Structure 1
Amino acid sequence: MAERLIRIERHATALAAEMPPVRLPEPRPARDAGSWLPDGLIPVDPLAEPPEAGLPGRLDPVLALAEGLLPWRAGGTATAVLCADPMRGAAHLPRLSAVFGGPVRLLPAEPRSLAAALAATAGRALVARAETLPPSRSSCRSLPGSALAGVAALALSLLGGLTLLHPPAVLLGLVALAALALVSGAALKLAAVAATLRRPSPEPASDVRPARLPVISLLVPLYHETGIARTLLRRMEALDYPRDLLDLCLIVEDDDRLTRATLEATALPPWARIVEVPEGTLRTKPRALNYALAFARGSILGLYDAEDVPAPDHLHKVALAFARRGPSTACLQGALDYHNHRRNWVARCFTLEYAGWFRVLLPGIQRLGLAVPLGGTTLFLRREALEAVGGWDAHNVTEDADLGLRLARAGYLTEMIPIATQEEANFRPWPWVRQRSRWLKGYAVTWAVHMRDPVRLWRELGPRRFWGVQVMFLGAILQFALAPLLWSFWLLPLGLPHPLASLLPPAVLVALSILFLATQALDIAYACVGARRAGKPGLAFWSPTLMLYFPLATLAVYKALWELAARPFHWDKTEHGIDAAVTPPPAPSPRRDGAAS
């Protein structure tokens, strides 16, 4: 053992003298351990000979995982640290010596065993951290499923008891609640349309350009995405941004061997790398993002989905927008569009719905000064702001909307940026319901988390934004859940008797019916405006059929409410790349050089 340590120390010291300092966590290709070992030196197998208890925990887990370093034995004249590549390990000898308070000797390790041992030590520490961001009071992990189930059971029991005692009063109360949710939602849409029709205040003339373009880390979570992995790389290669400032993190779960194998069989460019997320207590997109955050190099973090087709100039526009705004602007949100909108009726309505969301409602919400619920893609964040609010909530299945609220509560601004990403519309009814139920469940959980202390929420957001949160989150849940009561008002225009005719004056019934029809007309106009702004005016023809499309959301909200009590943190994943009948737009030609345009 002593002879082995002396020989490897001499070898590593000689390498360190020739090596420049290394900045973490720059990706570098691994080398075969056998190619640098002195003759007769046998690699250590850390699975057969585990490290001393507590020793690996003394080293920063990001450094350990990024550079393949595993503290193994302490005592004697030096601390023994296992490494797979001396080109990495030798450069960190000064830092390792400072951590362990004395000389450090590098020993070779069998690469596969070293990777497994690191996942079990450093990886476990990072996973624990990824699952516990942000603080408990700001996370839905402190809303246990049993408590949610108890609240749901109590509410249903109370409603059932009141219904038995006085059914007409309960029915009238539910109709009034549904009408209030409908009016509130319609008022928000109308205000958003009006706000976006106003000419924005001119920005002061500015020739501000970033003195130096920032490093941008693109985080792309992948899970069972074998069919789209290679296409994703081609689309990312088309981004027109200096390659030395681009950091693509392909985030893969450790049990997703197929996606990992697909990526490993693909020639990754130097600016792209795989970040493997070890097993934990749950598997969600925000947990994976929190884990990958530790490895990202950028001061700006961008999020794309696996099937996204970004335009080449996205990152230059993002860098310029952040340079022209102060540090209080923490987030830039782009629009999402769909390339397969002609696939079928569901795809057309889905595209119409999101044209209204990204082209009308979110820009209007921003101009009205309300808290913006973020989308999960084409999203760019200042790293310092994200870390200031505690990252993503790993347990929330709509982590994007929750993050938007936490940024607003912390005093940060979110702005819409005029860029759009092409994606595949969810065009099959049941997968649509599953996806929408996850979103609605997340909205309910997000509302519950932020309303645990309504006084504090009011103080941090102010009255206008506080009520905006009630309309956007609680109002959406109530409107879909109570929609069948509103549908009954189609009976009056059709000349049919209404169940409430004996309980309400005729004038009130007529007023409710007119209100319902007016909001339907507003929804059609809102969708038409969104379609025109999205460059798809022909879709406006289908906007009247949205009244047949949104009942799917009512089915989704009932599924969401059941899951809220039964499995609140379950992630109902949406499949990507399944529309083989429609070819997505081709990625623009890849860049030939690394210069900024």
Structure 2
Amino acid sequence: MRQPRSAPAAPTGSPGRGRPVAALLMEQGRLAPSAALRALGESRRSGTDITRVLLAEDTVSPADLRDAMARHCGVLTLDRASCPPDPALADLLPPETCLRLAALPWMRAGATLVIATAQPQGFAAVLQALAPDCGPVAMALALESDIHAEIALRHGDAMARAAEAQVPAELSCRDISGATPRQLALAGGLALTCLALLVVWPVAFFGAALALALLSLLLAQITKGAALLAGWRRSAPAAPASGPLPEVSLLVPLFREEHIADTLVRRLSRLDYPRALLEVLLVLEAGDDLTRRTLARTPLPPWIRTVTVPEGPVTTKPRALNYALRFARGQIIGIYDAEDSPSPDQIRRVAHHFERAPPQVACVQGILDFYNPRANWLARCFTIEYATWFRILLPGLARLGFPVPLGGTTVFFRREALDHVGGWDAHNVTEDADLGVRLARFGYVTDLLATPTREEANNRPWPWVRQRSRWLKGYMMTWAVHMRRPRQLWRDLGPWGFAGFQLIFVPGLLQALLAPVLWSFWLVLAGLPHPLAASLSAGQMRALVATFLTAEAVSLLCSLAAVARSPHGGLLPVVPTLFLYYPLGTLAAYKALWELLHRPFYWDKTMHGHSAPDHDGADLPESAP
């Protein structure tokens, strides 16, 4: 491609041209020599440009740094307030290219096209991206915040629409509510058959339901036992990586958060990753005035900035993440929730893990834990459940070679892999589990890393049910979407992965929905009649009791092993009470099923900030669980 001719925006003899930026700042009294030395040392340690260090460490203001860089390059500066960009130039470069290169076609000075950039060292790539007939081109310096704001103004609505449909239609649940006539006929026929059996032949109905419930129970416990055995052996500590650290972008979606902003900034400030290589994007919805007012009262360091998602037909976390991803510059993309408190060394450990891992490792999932398990009995049970899932089951499933349903936070991706699979499904209310399966379908691998993040346990019964119903509804969506073409799923995952997908999703969902069938046998112990009592022999009843006890034993063993591996050893006496906790999941499952039929894309928001850490320092995770 022929490059456009570059025309200077200022005389080549401009004072300061070619001199070091730090020297120009010191000359103007904007930078103390001692601060310059510290910045130079950090620049050498982190392997990044000193200008990034000065900005990230809040050593100089963005405007002062821009002016010094302009003098160094011998070009003009542009300001969005005093010299607004020309909207007629919006189509010269795609918005994704502008964001990636931190550049924007700003105006024309006669026949010369003036391109504003915040990264002059990458201006050659801007010239390559321009069409060859643009004429002479000149560089100017502008604040990255001005460039981002103008791109959002010019292209925000279009980028938001694209964020809603990034995932190919055949892998997305966005049309899940549009059932075909054949699907409706099958569903109606199944419902009528069940109703007829219940009325005409209740014994057959309960017998079939019992058989399905027992099968799901057995498969779930076999999967748990296999995961427990597979994950029993801990991995040997890896040698520290020696290569340069990559740039990391952390996306933190916020919605209707009133009490968490100050705490969030304080917790993220504990991360020991070089600030010049770290950016945090607080992702807001356009109509969320509550969170916007809260953040306006919270001073944000230079490495934390906000991205506002335009309004759209759905307001979901994955849609917001897809939109914000365009504004992120990191090679590694991490996700946190508003109430998260990660281990200080977490980002560094993730970066080192990616450096050592083969390219097909596209994702690293950390451990989620709670900082308020002593709040009440529900918080204790939730903590045990999380310990079982993140410390026993997920590591075991990964070692078995099954697709890994991701957690929605403390999860990190290689940027190129995330782009390759299309990001998140904007309509799936459990976008994390869906993305984990989609990564596996594209041939990628998810690793589990023993680095913890503490967050707030949802410990109020109805909010807990609402949160769990969203998760279960998303699991139902995910299974339905990936099973649209079972043969293709078989080819993508292979026989073993296909079987693992079924074992992860189907038994758990059926267990939650069919649990009342198994509970009904408490009627027998209470001396009350049961629809199947006359149909089951004494031997069959003993076999049922043995099955129930064995399943309970496997669950208890997994939970006890998980608590033993966690810092919550005091919760061991609570483990036997979990059978009183699980009925809440059944209530949530029926709420999820109802919403799947009537409000599939409704996002039941979990509110944060209602339960403080158990004590000072409870939100500081242990570094080596």
Using structure 2 for the length normalisation, give the TM-score: 0.80
Aligned counterpart, 2:267: 235
Aligned counterpart, 2:208: 173
Which amino acid in 2 is paired with 1:168?
A: V
The whole-number CA distance in structure 2 between the counterparts of 1:525 and 1:146 is 42
Q: Is the contact between residue 339 and residue 584 of structure 1 (CA under 8 Å) also seen in structure 2? A: no
Choose from 167, 176, 191 the match for 1:143: 176
Which amino acid in 1 is paired with 2:162?
A: R
Report deviation, 1:524.
2.1
Choose from 284, 287, 308 the match for 2:316: 284
Report deviation, 1:508.
2.0
Q: Is the contact between residue 454 and residue 620 of structure 2 (CA under 8 Å) also seen in structure 1? A: no
Q: What does residue range 481-496 of structure 1 map to in structure 2 within 5 Å?
A: 481-496=513-528
Report deviation, 1:397.
0.8
**1:62-116 CA deviation, whole Å, 9 max, x = no partner?**
46568998768889745688x8xx978999699479457125699999x999988
Which amino acid in 2 is paired with 1:138?
A: L
Residues 430 and 101 from structure 1, CA distance in 2 versus in 1: closer, same or farther, beyond 3 angstroms?
same
Aligned counterpart, 1:592: none
Choose from 512, 535, 543 the match for 1:503: 535
Report deviation, 1:354.
0.9
**Does the residue aligned with 2:434 lie in a helix, a strand or coil?**
helix
The whole-number CA distance in structure 2 between the counterparts of 1:586 and 1:544 is 25
Matched, 1:344 2:379: no
The whole-number CA distance in structure 1 between the counterparts of 2:467 and 2:336 is 17
Matched, 1:215 2:250: no
Q: Percent identity over the alignment?
A: 48
- Deviates most, 112-121 or 374-383: 112-121
Aligned counterpart, 1:262: 294
Q: Is the contact between residue 368 and residue 386 of structure 2 (CA under 8 Å) also seen in structure 1? A: yes
Aligned counterpart, 2:95: 61
- Deviates most, 394-403 or 383-392: 383-392
- Deviates most, 440-449 or 122-131: 122-131
The whole-number CA distance in structure 2 between the counterparts of 1:482 and 1:16 is 78
Which amino acid in 1 is paired with 2:341?
A: V
Using structure 1 for the length normalisation, give the TM-score: 0.83
Aligned counterpart, 1:539: 571
The whole-number CA distance in structure 2 between the counterparts of 1:172 and 1:401 is 33
Aligned counterpart, 1:461: 493
Residues 398 and 14 from structure 1, CA distance in 2 versus in 1: closer, same or farther, beyond 3 angstroms?
farther
The whole-number CA distance in structure 2 between the counterparts of 1:419 and 1:112 is 33
Report deviation, 1:45.
7.4
**5+ residue gaps in structure 2?**
1-7, 22-47, 71-75
Report deviation, 1:60.
2.4
The whole-number CA distance in structure 1 between the counterparts of 2:289 and 2:536 is 62
Q: Is the contact between residue 328 and residue 412 of structure 1 (CA under 8 Å) also seen in structure 2? A: yes
Residues 59 and 583 from structure 1, CA distance in 2 versus in 1: closer, same or farther, beyond 3 angstroms?
farther
**Does the residue aligned with 2:167 lie in a helix, a strand or coil?**
coil
Q: What does residue range 136-535 of structure 1 map to in structure 2 within 5 Å?
A: 136-145=169-178, 150=184, 155-197=190-232, 199=233, 207=239, 209-535=241-567
Matched, 1:563 2:613: no
**Does the residue aligned with 2:359 lie in a helix, a strand or coil?**
coil
Aligned counterpart, 1:131: 164
**1:257-290 CA deviation, whole Å, 9 max, x = no partner?**
3323333443322222212212222111111111
Residues 57 and 502 from structure 1, CA distance in 2 versus in 1: closer, same or farther, beyond 3 angstroms?
farther
Q: Is the contact between residue 238 and residue 588 of structure 1 (CA under 8 Å) also seen in structure 2? A: no
**Does the residue aligned with 1:419 lie in a helix, a strand or coil?**
strand
The whole-number CA distance in structure 1 between the counterparts of 2:300 and 2:361 is 33
Q: Is the contact between residue 101 and residue 126 of structure 2 (CA under 8 Å) also seen in structure 1? A: no
**1:511-554 CA deviation, whole Å, 9 max, x = no partner?**
22321232123222221111111121221211222111111111
Report deviation, 1:453.
1.0
The whole-number CA distance in structure 1 between the counterparts of 2:364 and 2:125 is 40
**Does the residue aligned with 1:144 lie in a helix, a strand or coil?**
coil
The whole-number CA distance in structure 1 between the counterparts of 2:231 and 2:461 is 32
Which amino acid in 2 is paired with 1:390?
A: G
The whole-number CA distance in structure 1 between the counterparts of 2:146 and 2:352 is 45
Report deviation, 1:494.
4.5
Q: What does residue range 104-119 of structure 1 map to in structure 2 within 5 Å?
A: 118-119=151-152
Residues 254 and 154 from structure 1, CA distance in 2 versus in 1: closer, same or farther, beyond 3 angstroms?
farther
Q: Is the contact between residue 131 and residue 287 of structure 1 (CA under 8 Å) also seen in structure 2? A: yes
**1:359-404 CA deviation, whole Å, 9 max, x = no partner?**
1111111222211111111111111221221111111111111111
Q: Is the contact between residue 178 and residue 485 of structure 1 (CA under 8 Å) also seen in structure 2? A: yes
**Does the residue aligned with 1:360 lie in a helix, a strand or coil?**
helix
Q: Is the contact between residue 68 and residue 89 of structure 1 (CA under 8 Å) also seen in structure 2? A: no
**Does the residue aligned with 1:332 lie in a helix, a strand or coil?**
strand
Aligned counterpart, 1:6: none
The whole-number CA distance in structure 2 between the counterparts of 1:350 and 1:64 is 44
**5+ residue gaps in structure 1?**
1-8, 590-597
Q: Is the contact between residue 429 and residue 470 of structure 2 (CA under 8 Å) also seen in structure 1? A: yes
Residues 118 and 200 from structure 1, CA distance in 2 versus in 1: closer, same or farther, beyond 3 angstroms?
closer
Which amino acid in 2 is paired with 1:317?
A: R
Report deviation, 1:187.
0.8
The whole-number CA distance in structure 2 between the counterparts of 1:566 and 1:281 is 16
Residues 91 and 200 from structure 1, CA distance in 2 versus in 1: closer, same or farther, beyond 3 angstroms?
closer
**1:224-260 CA deviation, whole Å, 9 max, x = no partner?**
2231112111111111111211121111122223323
The whole-number CA distance in structure 1 between the counterparts of 2:105 and 2:15 is 18
**Does the residue aligned with 1:141 lie in a helix, a strand or coil?**
coil
Choose from 121, 142, 145 the match for 2:154: 121
- Deviates most, 132-141 or 55-64: 55-64
**Does the residue aligned with 2:534 lie in a helix, a strand or coil?**
coil
Residues 16 and 369 from structure 1, CA distance in 2 versus in 1: closer, same or farther, beyond 3 angstroms?
farther
Q: Is the contact between residue 87 and residue 154 of structure 2 (CA under 8 Å) also seen in structure 1? A: no
**1:201-244 CA deviation, whole Å, 9 max, x = no partner?**
768xx746241111111111111223111211111111111121
Which amino acid in 1 is paired with 2:571?
A: L
The whole-number CA distance in structure 2 between the counterparts of 1:66 and 1:257 is 29
Q: Is the contact between residue 340 and residue 584 of structure 1 (CA under 8 Å) also seen in structure 2? A: no
The whole-number CA distance in structure 2 between the counterparts of 1:94 and 1:360 is 47
- Deviates most, 450-459 or 489-498: 489-498
Which amino acid in 1 is paired with 2:398?
A: Q
Report deviation, 1:568.
0.9
The whole-number CA distance in structure 2 between the counterparts of 1:328 and 1:67 is 26
**Does the residue aligned with 1:279 lie in a helix, a strand or coil?**
coil
